[in-house]
A and B are shown apart, each in its own frame.
Chain A
């Protein structure tokens, strides 16, 4: 019998291979967030101090909207030719599929963040006054919060007609606590204040929602 981790690995490898060949998700995310950075930089002309105060919000809003573009693509390949049915009739556990999709999205959004963060730093002349390494933790926890719920709600909107609209409608309200945590933690680190409380909030959010998504995913996947 197949092992769940083996299937997660195989599905993740397959998704990365498909993305490498088509570059659908990464390209559209990249252009979208590039536009956001440029438009924001024309809209505001902050000094260094102001930049530190608003950058957290700007960065995460840009990443949130860009992530939705990738999340909408998550199931596009599975619906085309009804390939998802081939998975559903196999003995592979549903949660392996969910984890592979969530990890795949995490990688795509992380790549975007790695490419866009230097641009944010340049455009907004950012220099963190707090410990920069904590930004990596905030980025990892915040990105996981976005993709784990995003992957789940993208599955829920699979069978709806206007799923591109449905996904943000479902995802944004539930992401508010995580978004608050990401923005506040990033701002706190940039202005040199402690971000431990916000990091703890993000960690708790991730644990709760990852567990809830894993418990409910099979039901959502097989819903008619």
Chain B
């Protein structure tokens, strides 16, 4: 790792972040910094606040209080063209083919060149010439096409919520490999997952969440002290 890399400013800075839904606090004062060019696995039980944290980073949830700085900007909209987001649902239109979907989303990012769509579909191991509508895809294919959509704009920061759910082990391993290559190309990746074992050896750090707080950060899958 070069000195420049070590001294590079953090990609994501979260400061005393609180997110409440009515009287329920999903995030209860999260404070953390995340460096560039790393793959972070966000782990925790259901309701720990993982998805809320990711959605807040993606600008989909407004913090109740606290600050989020992404790629040096406090307004998500200023850097949204440098962020890729994949949610648990596919974020794809069921009635259109994968390529039609990606061609539409490419236009939202001002990417007129269709070759970028083909490239992204090939990168996740799917056939860009598949004319079947996404609604007829298997769950695994849908997840991979969803990842292709998130990669479409060649983002510096990739936020992935449960990318491996309902994906067979072979495809999931391929996805992890793709994420490792993407990280090696200097991108920062957050992966919220319940299948932490898949990221062992690939993730640079595991971030453990519990009850709306980050309770520890480890380099391996050994839970920090105090984790349930």
Q: Nearest Cβ in chain B — how far from A209, in angstroms?
A: 26
Decide if B34 is an interface residue (CB 8 Å cutoff).
Answer: no
7 nearest interchain CB pairs?
A2-B110, A86-B91, A10-B107, A90-B108, A92-B108, A82-B89, A91-B81
Number of chain A residues close to chain B: CB under 8 A: 27
State whether A2 touches B108 (Cβ < 8 A): yes
> Majority SS of interface residues in chain B?
loop
- CA of A3 to CA of B107 in the docked complex: distance in angstroms? 9
Set A7, A17, A82: member contacting B91, Cβ < 8 A? A82
**Contact A1 to B108, CB < 8 A, known contacts A18-B93, A81-B92:** no
State whether B85 touches A86 (Cβ < 8 A): yes
Q: Nearest Cβ in chain B — how far from A216, in angstroms?
A: 17
Residues in A whose Cβ lies below 8 Å from that of B107 = 2, 6-7, 10
Number of chain B residues close to chain A: CB under 8 A: 27
Q: A7-B107, A83-B92 are in contact. List 11 more A-B contacts (CB 8 A).
A: A2-B107, A6-B110, A7-B108, A11-B104, A14-B93, A14-B104, A81-B89, A86-B91, A88-B59, A88-B60, A224-B61
- CB proximity to B under 8 Å, residues A59-110: 77, 80-83, 85-92
**Contact A89 to B85, CB < 8 A, known contacts A1-B110, A2-B109:** yes
Q: Mark A1-24, 1 if CB is under 8 A from B, else 0.
A: 111001100110010011001100
- CB proximity to A under 8 Å, residues B68-92: 77, 80-81, 83, 85, 87, 89-92
The A/B interface has a contact count, at CB < 8 Å, of: 75
Residues in B whose Cβ lies below 8 Å from that of A77 = 93, 95
Decide if B96 is an interface residue (CB 8 Å cutoff).
Answer: yes
Residues in B whose Cβ lies below 8 Å from that of A21 = 95
Q: Nearest Cβ in chain A — how far from B166, in angstroms?
A: 14
State whether B94 touches A91 (Cβ < 8 A): no
Decide if B156 is an interface residue (CB 8 Å cutoff).
Answer: no
- CB proximity to B under 8 Å, residues A2-51: 2-3, 6-7, 10-11, 14, 17-18, 21-22
- CB proximity to A under 8 Å, residues B9-48: none
- CA of A6 to CA of B103 in the docked complex: distance in angstroms? 13
State whether B108 touches A18 (Cβ < 8 A): no
Chain A residue with Cβ nearest B103: A10
State whether A83 touches B108 (Cβ < 8 A): no
State whether B95 touches A224 (Cβ < 8 A): no
State whether A91 touches B91 (Cβ < 8 A): no
Decide if B62 is an interface residue (CB 8 Å cutoff).
Answer: yes
